[in-house]
Amino acid sequence: MGDNNRREFLKKATLATAAVAAAGTVVAPAVQAAEKKYQWKMVTTWPPHFPVLGEGADKLAEMINKMSGGRLTVQVYGGGELVPALQAFDAVSQGMVEMGHGAAYYWAGKIPAAQFFAAVPFGMNAQGMNAWIYTGGGQELWDELYAPFNLKPMPAGNTGVQMGGWFNREIKSIADFKGLKMRIPGLGGKVLAKAGGTAILSPGGEIYTNLERGVIDATEWVGPYNDYKMGFYKVAKYYYYPGWHEPGTVLETFINKKAYEALPVDLQEIVKRAAEASNLWMLCESETKNPLYLDKLVNEEGVKLRKFPDDVIHALRGYSKEVLDEVVAKDPMSKKVYASFSKFQKQHDAWGEISEVALAEMAK
């Protein structure tokens, strides 16, 4: 081998050795990261494994476990199993556990603007809420709202249009709300108070007993499937619709921000996609089961299905506007969030009139 060839050979060998060494420095951390295991706990506001809501939390954890190949495992605890149901927010915020599952209006006492990320009386349906949060600027506002509490929120379910609730008296006029004690959270509860009733917040596991014992006169919960499983038809006479207070209720997962940011990027993405899949599953499950169980309630259990009178809905709409004006006036962040929400709803409703509504009227 000549001198020139020898020098060329040595040069290539040196470059090849350097490339292998460089590749090693890149690959080794990736391999090391792939082998690291993360074990999280999720606390929920729902009874353990509760139909649709609790099942949604279970499925979210299951999907994360599967998609991560076991690198990130999530153990789910129902309300009261690890912490009381309505203390889930604090438990995740403080880092006692990594993840929670519930509804944002439960935290209205801490964050008034959180209510807009669950349900707004006479607000948007599930389709509109998803559009606003995912692609209409809602998620960015939600992130900003929860950041001071060390939390990362995401949609993780939707119940669709809810029912108006179970009552032990007929609602013939707005005057029938006076003195009514009703389990109803969020902005809807404030509207009830405007109408002369008393809003009571309690977790799902306590509702049946409170209704049976007369602690409350009425309750809203979700829809026919969930309500049937709760057995409300055994302790209340009248079942009202529509759910003016919750036209498209978002369920959330909220994650300890430090724990989330400590995950590798691919595991963060898995958590996001699992939450999206859970959101879709819950809405589909609700839409599938609700008509079947409404039929059972009416035709097998003899439930008295009633529609709220038009003048009652008109009055509730007026009270809703008053409540929203008051919330926005008191809280700058609520003002900011509601500006985005209301602008998006106007656009969504205008499009809906010539798409969904027009199609429904044509099909009659």
pTM value is: 0.88
Q: What is the pLDDT of residue 4?
A: 47
Cα 220 to Cα 158, 184, 242: the distances in Å are: 16, 6, 11
Q: What is the pLDDT of residue 14?
A: 45
Q: What residues form DSSP beta bridges with 43?
A: 77, 100
Q: What is the pLDDT of residue 204?
A: 85
Q: Please name the residues in contact with 151: beta carbons below 8 A apart, sequence gap of 6 or more.
A: 89, 92, 93, 254, 255, 256, 257
What is the full DSSP assignment across 146-181? HGGGTEEEEEEEE--SPP-EEESS---SGGGGTT-E
Q: Which residue positions in the chain have pLDDT lower than 70?
A: 1-34
- Where do the domains of the chain lie, and which CATH numbers do they carry? 36-160+248-287 (3.40.190.170)
**C-beta of residue 239 within 8 angstroms of C-beta of residue 230:** no
Q: What is the pLDDT of residue 275?
A: 98
Q: CA-CA distance, 216 to 185, in Å (whole number)?
A: 13
Q: What is the pLDDT of residue 65?
A: 98
Q: CA-CA distance, 173 to 236, in Å (whole number)?
A: 19
Give the Cβ contact number of residue 9 at 10 Å: 11
Measure CA 162 to chain center: 14
Q: What is the pLDDT of residue 34?
A: 52
pLDDT tens track for 9-68: 444 444 444 443 444 444 444 544 557 999 999 999 999 999 999 999 999 999 999 999
pLDDT tens track for 317-326: 999 999 999 9
Q: Which backbone phi and psi does 219 adopt, to 5 degrees?
A: -150, 145
Two tokens at 71? 């690198």
